[in-house]
Structure 1
Amino acid sequence: MSDGDESYFERLVDVDALESHLETHLGSAETFEVNRHAGGHSNETLFVTWGDRELVVRRPPPGETADTAHDVLREYTVMEALQETGVPVPETVLACEDHDVLGCDFYVMERENGVVMRDAEPDQFAEPSHRRRIGEEMVDTLGEIHRVDYESVGLAEFGRPERFTQRQVDRWQRQYEWAFEVTADEREVPAVEEVTDWLQAHVPDNPPHALVHGDYKLDNVMFGDSPPPMVRSVFDWEMSTLGDPFADLGWLLSYWPDADDRSAAVGTASSAAFVRRHGYPTRDELVDRYESVTGLAFENERFYRTLAVYKLGALGEMFFRRHLEGNADDDTYPQMETRVPKLADRALRIVEGEA
């Protein structure tokens, strides 16, 4: 671990305080180890060995964060509520609001083992029938989330589904504004204003209501190790709420390139470019299956795809601010200086029917 890595790790976790807290709630353990998981670009993930248990601690990044971002206790609340449903989620262990432990809210869950597809296709799934099943599993699991009776599982007050879509546009506009307070001194992104105006003028009326994940994409889902591919667990629920399910579908589509797309680069990382290979469903096929699974008609597709890319740009700009302020340890954050303007241009192309 380099000096910089060690310094950042010390900002993330007071090892002695965490050990004391876990001992109070879980009992003593002969083995205790903590390691930072470098994957992901939002909340921080720590892998913890506690005796014979493998645990995960989720906490926000250090430093100032945008209002409502990085709400790890929101993740805990929804995963706790989904434990007995058909939605596959990790087993929750405990949540902590005492900032004397790590200086922030955090929660603990059991660690899952399986395959997360981020940069490469697993060899065991590299045949057309498995590739198609991966897409089907993604859509079927999303449909399972959207079919949850959120009142019966105790999530009736988890959000305000009325006017959710309008509030999404308003919220992400504010996130850009928060980031621009710092990043505008480095460079400006004029296309964002044009996309914002279009989204504000085209918010759909009366969309359906459902529990939404908020960040549903391939690398936030874990599959079992062996074929056929089956979703084992869904992670990263920090953006979850009650709202418009089509926002989830638009988000998934923004990370799922078709074979003839001119670029696979999106958002805070590259999308899973391997889904262009023979056998993976196209975006249109994903939409068709979603409509079949849920009974919902995916209308206003251009709006939801534009909104997804707009949100990706906002996240990237927030990451760029954190980089400039020294509140991040992620090699992708400085790349947002050039990637966010490209995302804004991509959103404009969707608005204009060119992408």
Structure 2
Amino acid sequence: MTGPDTAPVRPGEELPLDRLRIALQGRLPAGLDALSAEQFPGGFSNLTYLLRAGEQEYVLRRAPLGPVARGAHDMAREYHLLERIHPVFSAAPRPEVLVEDPEVLGSPFYLMERRRGEVVRTALPAAYAANPEAPRQLSEALVDTLAALHAVDIDAAGLRAIGRPEGFNGRQVEGWAGRWRRARALLAGSGDLPPPEELHDEEVIAWLEAHTPAESAHTLVHNDFKLDNLMLDPADPSRVVALLDWEMTTVGDPLVDLGLTLTYWTMPVQPGGSRIGAAGAAEGYLSREAFIERYARQRGQALSPQAVVWYEVLGHFKLAVIVLQIFARYRAGQTQDPRFAPLAAQAEWLIREAWRRVTGPS
């Protein structure tokens, strides 16, 4: 029996419960004899399951199936990040158990506490239907959580060493450009993307390189901060229960987070299909400009919409890279998930939107 936020495990992504039971012996308090698993259907990267051990519930996260880029989907790193972030940022779930032996599931994995709440994806949940203020409240919760994350004292928390903040923006462009070119090369001759002279992807890269700003500050950077990575209180959309998906967290320029969040916030269609499209233009939600203004006020800094354009272009480009990498794995037969079929078109849209922001008015 699955719950409202879980589903049966997708074919080919089942968990070997017997091996899992042995690996967790002595590491969970009880319930291993009745171990069962369901799958959280959202997300396009790591595989996430609801694991029940008797009366206890845990969230299990592991890397996607098939080959993955070196250094990506590092479950041990994510586990240890949460060990350090959870005590200083309560929205980060508490990690419980790390298993690094790849023989158990095919890759390292970890368990964390399960938190319960609403995740807003395709429409406002029924729990908020009678609340006309819900769009504004959840918008403000999103902004305020981002500002609070960036306010964590990385030195007092011993977190500065998880990244290399100096030169962060330049390395972002260099790293994501390399990933884009490698993913594009895997699709060479397939016709899945227009040629560079038509798509302007190399020109987007050149613009990002030529206009790279110095870091505005050095803070925690979540690197995938968006509405459906927040879990909200069903009774109060202004209260955040959890912030999820910490796999790419590092230390760098906080405006890189803001740029990617605004990328999601202003997109009419997000990877794999419709979401609350272009929330920044929808009635009741904060506009792009109001989003930036509230964030700047929370951070106590002057920040104009024009000042974040470079970060938004980078956000569009980064998301294009991520979805193209996933599509390349799908095209190569390394995953069968049908949700991935439209992602080349999504990457193309993102690059064209990045180029529009480079060449047109902000």
Same fold (TM over 0.5): yes
Letter of the 2:44 partner, please give it. H
Instruction: Indicate the residue corresponding to 1:123 in structure 2.
Output: 126
| Aligned residue number for residue 185 of structure 1 | 189
- Equivalence for 2:269: 265
Aligned counterparts of 1:181 and 1:19: Cα–Cα separation in 2: 41
AA partner of residue 221 (structure 1): L
Give, in angstroms, the shift of residue 351 of structure 1: 0.6
Q: Secondary structure at the match of 2:80?
A: helix
Secondary structure of 1:233's aligned partner: strand
- Count of aligned pairs: 344
Contact 1:266/1:312 (<8 A) preserved: no
Distance in 2 (alpha carbons) for counterparts of 1:155 and 1:227: 31
Shift of 1:169: 0.8
Q: In structure 1, which of residues 127, 140, 152 is the aligned counterpart of residue 156 of structure 2?
A: 152
Q: CA deviation at 1:208?
A: 0.9
* Structure 2 residue 175 is the aligned partner of structure 1 residue 166: no
Matched with 1:251 is: 260
Structure 1 stretches of 4+ moved >6 Å: none
The residue type paired with residue 169 of structure 1 is V
Q: Following TM superposition, by how much is the alpha carbon of 1:124 offset from its aligned partner in structure 2, in angstroms?
A: 3.5
Q: CA deviation at 1:283?
A: 1.0
Match of 1:285 in 2: 290
* Partner Cα distance (1:242, 1:353) in 2: 31
Letter in 1 for 2:262: L
Q: RCO greater where, 1 or 2, for CA within 8 Å and sep 6 or more?
A: 1
1:100-139 → structure 2 map (5 Å cutoff)? 100-126=103-129, 127-139=131-143
Residue 89 of structure 1 corresponds to 92
One-letter amino acid of the counterpart of residue 283, structure 2: H
Structure 1 residue matching 2:64: 3-state secondary structure: coil
Deviates more, 1:340-349 or 1:328-337: 328-337
Spell out, residue by residue over 1:73-98, the C-alpha distance to the aligned partner (whole angstroms, 9 max, x if none). Answer: 23222222122224412221011221
Calculate percent identity across the aligned residue pairs.
35
> Which residue does 2:221 correspond to in 1?
212
Aligned to 1:324: 331
Residue number among 49, 52, 65 corresponding to 1:49 in the alignment: 52
1:116 shift after superposition:
0.1
**2:139 is matched by which residue type in structure 1?**
G
TM-aligned CA deviation for residue 170 of structure 1? 1.0
Q: Contact 1:268/1:316 (CA < 8 Å) preserved in 2? A: no
Match of 1:98 in 2: 101
Cα offset, 1:269, TM superposition: 4.6
Residues of 1 paired with 2:247 and 2:339: CA distance? Answer: 20
Change (3 A) 1:143 1:9: same
Distance 2:272 2:360 in 1: 24
For residues 284 and 128 of structure 1, what CA distance do their matches in structure 2 show? 21
| Matches of 1:286 and 1:121, distance apart in 2 | 19
Q: 2:206 aligns with which of 197, 202, 207?
A: 197
Partner of 2:4: none
1:332, CA displacement in angstroms? 2.6
Q: Matched residue of 1:108: which SS?
A: strand
Instruction: Identify unmatched segments of 5+ residues in structure 1.
Output: 258-262
- Give the CA deviation at 1:328: 2.0
Partners of 2:110 and 2:185 in 1: CA distance: 31
Determine helix, strand or coil for the equivalent of 2:265. coil
Cα drift, residue 290 of structure 1: 0.6
**Does residue 76 of structure 1 match 2:79?**
yes
SS of residue paired to 2:49 = strand
Amino acid at match of 1:207: S
Q: Which amino acid aligns with 1:43?
A: N
Distance 1:149 1:320, change over 3 A: same
Q: SS in structure 2 opposite 1:133?
A: helix
How far is the alpha carbon of 1:271 from its aligned partner?
4.3
Structure 2 unpaired stretches of 5+: 1-8
Equivalent position to 2:232, from 217, 223, 233 = 223
Between the aligned partners of 1:270 and 1:296, the Cα distance in structure 2 is 34
Deviation, structure 1 residue 36? 2.5
Question: Offset at 1:267?
Answer: 4.2
Change beyond 3 A, Cα 1:210–1:283: same
Alignment CA distance shift 1:253-1:112 (3 Å): same
Give 3-state SS (helix, strand or coil) of 1:107's partner. Answer: strand
Q: 1:267 to 1:164 in 2, by over 3 A?
A: farther
How many angstroms apart in 2 are the aligned matches of 1:101 and 1:118? Answer: 32
User: What corresponds to 1:260 in structure 2?
Assistant: none
Determine the structure 2 residue equivalent to 1:298: 303
